[in-house]
A and B are shown apart, each in its own frame.
Chain A
């Protein structure tokens, strides 16, 4: 009877086994505490925090390991707040934070590695090239629902926003002084690429993504356009020189003044040698 192959009934199981895996790794975290060896450039460095910064630090870490074969850099994600908590509790040597430092985080030593800009994108066929902050706020809170009202074509606006917990959302909300409850989205997306694809597939959509990602996709012929904000064109250049308003610094932090291995790693991450890796991840290296 069974010509039928069962590739289906197990889907739910996948979700739950993913939980199981998550749990195993989650429990594992607490065990990997700080280890300091006598030789400054050997041993293990545990880095946790923002998932925006993590791929960059992982790449820098790989190159750092190659230069210093006795060093292992262990990068784990979990959000900027986990970076702060882990460093404070000593579970990680270095934390990663994808935003400006808050006032209650003055106890930590922060080092800027790169900058990231959040740019507003529309479809290439949309004649709009600039929107004022008030217009963006009105669109995202559902007060303006047609492109005609901001000087475009007669078409309903599709508002694309990010899922709760994403740091791009936090940066966006912080700049426009909005709360997530105020936003009336039509589409909620996960990562930047999904945002770019959603806007590219919908002539009347507006979204916001990391400028590095958008600029790269635009150069590859994806039909999207970055809008200028506050009169400043959105580009990696304007993010680098600090003129673009919706941008954020990417930090790595330590609890005490860094010494030994952590110090060497931080200095390496901030040096020119890491600039090509930063550009590769669509972030903007600092001007120096």
Chain B
């Protein structure tokens, strides 16, 4: 820690004060996570000590009222919905940001950006409602029943698209102008400039965008609850209904008691573990390459 010796009146108190204040604030932020995890574990403990963690992955089904607690189908449901939507939204978002920055006329780019920002501001329950009354019947016409993994992926894609688009847009804007001028001076065509100069220079921002959209895709609850059908099963096709871990908690928490309630906290723990796993994976992928 460096102290500012320019402060003549009180040479070190201000710095000390600030230091302790910041330490305190940082501790609070860290503590919140620890308290929440501790609380989740405390609430899940009754059922964990009763039946053990293993049965949450080996039981025949999820029927907590009858003592079956298999979370695996919901884990798959969450993973498939997340992976599908991220796979569609990432290229779409990055390419639309490229369009916005390098191809679109300024007027179009500006209104396009506003539009995407508006998309980011729509509450998730509105997306869910739209999905339920428009998207789900449409899918139902193609392949019944309608509420399905596909509906979930499409809704999630629309929801996370603004996250990646705006993040990519911001990081493209951050690429130093002299890189672009240098590329132009070398006579590189536009796409070669984007691929060879802009993307490598903006990769940390793009990567952060992907992490953020993935987080949102895993955490989304309300819209998914309305369009996915919520049947606990491992999907074998895009048209199968699924239930995600978040939807499971939202759907059953209000009426759950005893072991059932504790089992829902285990859902929360598994979800938390997934997020931690994601963070570790991101750290591992990016180490020394993305942010370095």
Contact = CB atoms under 8 A, between A and B. Distances in A.
B126 interface: no
Interface in A131-175: 155-156, 158-159, 163-167
Interface stretch (B11-19, B129-137, B280-288): B129-137
Interface residues of A, number: 51
Nearest to A8: B216
Contacts of A163: 230, 251-252, 255
Contact of A14 (B120, B219, B255): B219
Interface stretch (B48-56, B159-167, B184-192, B193-201): B159-167
A22 interface: yes
Given A187-B147, A187-B229, A189-B230, A12 B265 contact: no
Contacts of B220: 11
Nearest to B143: A156
Interface string B212-242: 1101101111000110011110000000010
Interface in A1-29: 1-9, 11-17, 19-20, 22-23
Given A1-B170, A9-B212, A202-B136, A179 B231 contact: no
Given A11-B215, A20-B36, A187 B241 contact: yes
A12 B271 contact: yes
Contacts of B250: 15, 190
A186 B63 contact: no
Contact of A165 (B40, B132, B146, B260): B260
Interface in A174-214: 179-181, 185-190, 194, 197-198, 201-202, 204-205
Interface string B270-292: 01100100000000000000000
B251 A190 contact: yes
Contacts of A69: none
B255 A165 contact: yes
Contacts of A180: 63, 65-66
A236 B216 CA distance: 44
Interface of A: 1-9, 11-17, 19-20, 22-23, 51, 77-79, 81-82, 155-156, 158-159, 163-167, 179-181, 185-190, 194, 197-198, 201-202, 204-205
15 contacts: A4-B170, A8-B163, A8-B215, A11-B219, A11-B221, A13-B219, A14-B219, A16-B40, A19-B43, A20-B35, A164-B65, A164-B252, A165-B252, A186-B144, A202-B145
Interface of B: 35-36, 39-40, 43, 61, 63-66, 68, 113, 117, 120-121, 124, 132-133, 136-137, 140, 144-147, 160, 163, 166-167, 169-171, 173-174, 205, 212-213, 215-216, 218-221, 225-226, 229-232, 241, 243, 246, 249-257, 260, 265, 268, 271-272, 275
Given A12-B219, A164-B260, 20 more contacts: A1-B170, A1-B174, A2-B170, A3-B170, A8-B160, A8-B163, A8-B215, A9-B212, A9-B215, A17-B36, A156-B144, A159-B145, A165-B64, A181-B66, A187-B230, A194-B226, A198-B136, A198-B147, A202-B137, A202-B144
